[in-house]
Amino acid sequence: MARSVRLTDSKIAGIKPILGDRLEFPDDVVKGLRVRVGSGGTKTFIYRARFGGKPRNFALGQYDAKRFTLANARDLARKMQGDISEGRDPAGQLGRKPGDDGRLKGLVELYFQREVRGRKRTADAIERTFKVDILPTLGERLADTITRADITKLVERVTFKATKETPRQGRMVHQLLSAFFNWALPRLDRLEANPCVGAWRPAVSASRDRVLSQDEIKTLWNAAGDAGEFGKGVRLLILTGQRRSEVLEAKWAEFNVDAKVWTIPAARAKNGKANLVPLSDAALALIASIDRTSKSGFLFPAKGNPSAPMSGFTQLWGKVLKAVEKDLEGPVERFTMHDIRRTLATGLQRLGTRLEVTEAVLNHQSGSRAGIVAVYQRHHFADEKRHALDAWAAELQRIVAGERVGNVVALRG
């Protein structure tokens, strides 16, 4: 039997795991509180007590020097002691109803509270994927009974549920479940390993290198002109090269027309870093043409719901692509809205823009701006980005008009 020790945060942080063995260190301040150290180094607070005539282990949470310390664990363990003395199930202190104890949906809600909401930029998308693709199938299951085969069947169902395969969503479901079970594992005594390990998931698609030809750019621009407000979003994407969500979920408050700058806040940027996008005259003219609804803060609000951004991209984009194929009088190699971003980057390189400026325009944190450069290089290339996007707008004018280099005319519409 392990002897109780005077635990401190520094002692817990300094405990070294032993390969193939699991260690436990009882606390001498709060009876029943323990620190469990897995062979991989994970440190979890456990509260052990008798309830209902049986010994039970309650996983309180994973040790974190900033978010869940020894003091937090002691406070929670003391509350659970009080519950037991009054005949209440201490599992209620963990944010779960007694009837939900152990079921996946109860643990997922606890996971959302502690690890997702207010902590992850993509929290809404994570919760939506769980509610749509995961909980309807596995929510009522005891989490520690879910197997690798269960995960495989679920991922297969998501991947092949539509008339068209959706491998990206299948990989997303697998990834989110794997992250969840890594968090939940210390709370599930009977689950020996993450069931996502070894479960089937769709292979990662080959890296795309699709770049639109000048004829395709011209035809896409014209087709977007006949696609209403969504088409204006496509044109803004072509002019700025920003991400689809950044364009179609943009808010009026982000635009300073006088300064000719669009500020994409860190909360909406994929890499979590704000991006200042210089606006060319063509982009400003496009923005001025957008019907500004006083009831909405979005450039492109959802139809019938001005408090939300536009949705239904897949169907709208499909109509634009059909118009492109019709104009080009033949099948066109499939391209996505993200390929427009790559096309702009390729166009800037062709126009002589330096690589680091192109990456700054795209708000990429890779390549020439990664690693130590990202730490010490604080120049944001504001002037260079403006010059690059102005040059790209002029190039677009030439392409759309079908003129030779040097003849610049106004964009149609």
Residue 391: how many other CB atoms lie within 10 Å: 16
pLDDT in tens, 277-327: 999 999 999 999 998 876 789 999 988 888 888 888 888 999 999 999 999
Q: What's the confidence (pLDDT) of residue 33? A: 93
Would you write out the chain's pLDDT as a tens digit for each of its 413 residues?
A: 456 678 899 999 988 888 778 888 999 999 999 998 887 788 889 899 888 788 888 888 788 887 778 988 898 888 888 888 888 777 655 544 433 457 798 899 999 988 998 888 778 889 999 999 999 999 888 888 899 999 999 999 999 876 677 888 999 999 999 999 999 998 887 788 999 999 999 987 666 688 999 999 999 999 999 999 999 999 999 999 999 999 999 999 999 999 999 999 988 888 788 999 999 999 999 999 998 876 789 999 988 888 888 888 888 999 999 999 999 987 888 898 999 999 999 999 999 999 999 999 999 865 544 444 444 444 678 999 999 999 999 999 999 998 755 444 444 44
How many Å apart are CA 357 and CA 345, to the nearest integer? 10
DSSP SS3 for 122 = coil
Q: What Cα–Cα distance (Å) separates residue 231 from each residue in 25, 131, 234, 344?
A: 62, 31, 5, 17
How many Å apart are CA 249 and CA 243, to the nearest integer? 10
Residues found in the chain:
413
CATH class of residue range 9-94: alpha beta
Residue with tokens 């019709």: 326
CATH class of residue range 214-401: mainly alpha
293-297 own/partner pairs: CB under 8 Å, 24+ apart:
297/251, 297/252, 297/253
How many Å apart are CA 206 and CA 366, to the nearest integer? 19
Q: Which two tokens stand for residue 7?
A: 């635990």
